[in-house]
Structure 1
């Protein structure tokens, strides 16, 4: 095959993979709720149950009849999947555990294994590892929180944010739910688009999550302000005009804070969790993340511990959980 054709084939394959990756993130975030809605017990439904729009249509297509029909069909598919999951008793138990964990986070209290076992009842005790895994999946992907065992007390846990918590309200002694899940998922989408994503691509992706500009979200507030102002000010993303574009168009890139922290590894953790994949699924990105970690560790005089590949525990087996 001529060299030019090989290059085109590789580029086409890379674009197809990036398109598939962004689609795999669909359904990973909670859908929008109007401001004023009371927070209810979150439903634990894996990303695989929400095939929201297999192929993103062109910008503006949602205004057409075809776009409306497609959205209605997708909404029906999602509703059926959610309804089916809600009827599953194991999923309902996982939702209770997730709600309990979020309550503990907001009250700044430690979750206890005994409390969670009481929530699911004795009948489902044997399934507790699966239920906890399902709840912690949603906890990490949606809220950017990790549940870790307390080293001093094996029967209790601590909730740790994957990224530094953004400043937020603290009313009545309850902490605001973290927004880091959206940050990690958005950074993952940008990374899978070749480290830059157009504004149209970002909003297409967020539309699939039920997140729209101008419609306040229960967790993220006004999405456009959160993404184009708050995340820019926090240096997690860069929002800039595409050079030479006329009329002006805009794109999103990783900000300096995202590049300088251990963010790439945390983003890969979330991506592999969503796709139920191994780190080898993203060899280039994973090697870059390890290299970045090694460089930072070397500057701190801790390089020796980073030269061996660090594979998060949930990569080894999707069935491993707390017991």
Structure 2
């Protein structure tokens, strides 16, 4: 479940958490377009009280405003002088350190961007990427905003659901973040397009029909690139950070992530051993060839 701070950002204007009756995703490569969800999406409104209560906090509202300002600067690849940040918070200047801290947390959790002071003399800042996905440079929508943070949250949701999440579960999760199918989001645009074009087509997510479902239902799994470019432990660390806790607070998931780390280490060790053996065989072959000459 997303933190209230994230929800305040992702639904910055306090949009009422009404359900979307058009929450299907038509994903390339599936047997047919996903069906729109009806009853399931209604439960998304249960997340609304927390979201709306937290958004009444003026410091959270200012943090959300500051994030939107930071995103504009990020798209223009500009450094951000502290004076501009102070101007954005306006009359809440005395609370600036707390507002900046909350805004920086949102930028890190949602977008994987860490705010760093790049020029102490002028107190100017810039963003550096810190997510685990090596090819995230290409993971952005037409707006130029990085979407790896949202992808990591979706990977985390799939992981916590037993490594597969139904389409209804994914949209309940996104609705709790203030992201609704068929409704353009101020940060992520149209979410169905984002998921189908930038996550499924690039093979970070797999979208398929649930076996033996009649009428057809659909589910999301980690795609091959997600398995190759991140790990369950890294995603669990991301989920833990987004909920203000630590990976070991999820004992079953933590145990599974540790097992995954061990398996990955074994595969890497086997690959290294195979490479060494191949190198030695090549050396011996060259040595025999030289001796015959």
Per the TM alignment, residue 106 of structure 1 is displaced from its structure 2 partner at its CA by 1.2
The within-5 A match list for 1:1-323 is 23-24=1-2, 28-29=6-7, 31=10, 60-61=38-39, 71=45, 75=48, 78-82=51-55, 84-85=56-57, 88=58, 90-113=59-82, 115-117=84-86, 119=88, 124=93, 128-150=96-118, 155-161=123-129, 162=131, 163=133, 164-165=136-137, 166-169=139-142, 176-262=144-230, 264-282=232-250, 283-288=254-259, 290-291=261-262
DSSP 3-state at the match of 1:158: strand
Task: State how far apart, in whole Å, the 2-side matches of 1:156 and 1:296 are.
Answer: 44
Structure 1 window deviating more from structure 2 (221-230 vs 287-296): it is: 287-296
Per the TM alignment, residue 142 of structure 1 is displaced from its structure 2 partner at its CA by 2.7
DSSP 3-state at the match of 2:206: strand
Per the TM alignment, residue 299 of structure 1 is displaced from its structure 2 partner at its CA by 9.4
Kept after mapping to 1: 8 A contact 2:5/2:54: no
Per the TM alignment, residue 208 of structure 1 is displaced from its structure 2 partner at its CA by 2.6
Per the TM alignment, residue 269 of structure 1 is displaced from its structure 2 partner at its CA by 3.5
Tell me the TM-score normalised to structure 2 length: 0.65
Q: 1:264–1:148: structure 2 CA closer, same or farther, 3 Å change rule?
A: farther
DSSP 3-state at the match of 1:159: strand
Q: 1:288–1:233: structure 2 CA closer, same or farther, 3 Å change rule?
A: farther
Per the TM alignment, residue 281 of structure 1 is displaced from its structure 2 partner at its CA by 1.7
Unaligned runs of 5+ in 1: 1-22, 33-41, 54-58, 170-174, 302-323
DSSP 3-state at the match of 2:80: coil
DSSP 3-state at the match of 1:28: helix
Unaligned runs of 5+ in 2: 20-36, 273-293
Q: CA RMSD in A?
A: 4.2
Q: 1:295–1:216: structure 2 CA closer, same or farther, 3 Å change rule?
A: farther
Per the TM alignment, residue 62 of structure 1 is displaced from its structure 2 partner at its CA by 6.3
Q: Radius of gyration: which is bigger? A: 2
Task: State how far apart, in whole Å, the 1-side matches of 2:175 and 2:266 are.
Answer: 37
Q: 1:214–1:122: structure 2 CA closer, same or farther, 3 Å change rule?
A: closer
Give the structure 1 partner of residue 276 of structure 2: none
Question: Aligned residues, how many?
Answer: 245
- Per-residue Cα deviation, 1:165-187 (whole angstroms, up to 9, x for no partner): 32543xxxxx5222223211111
Kept after mapping to 2: 8 A contact 1:214/1:224: yes
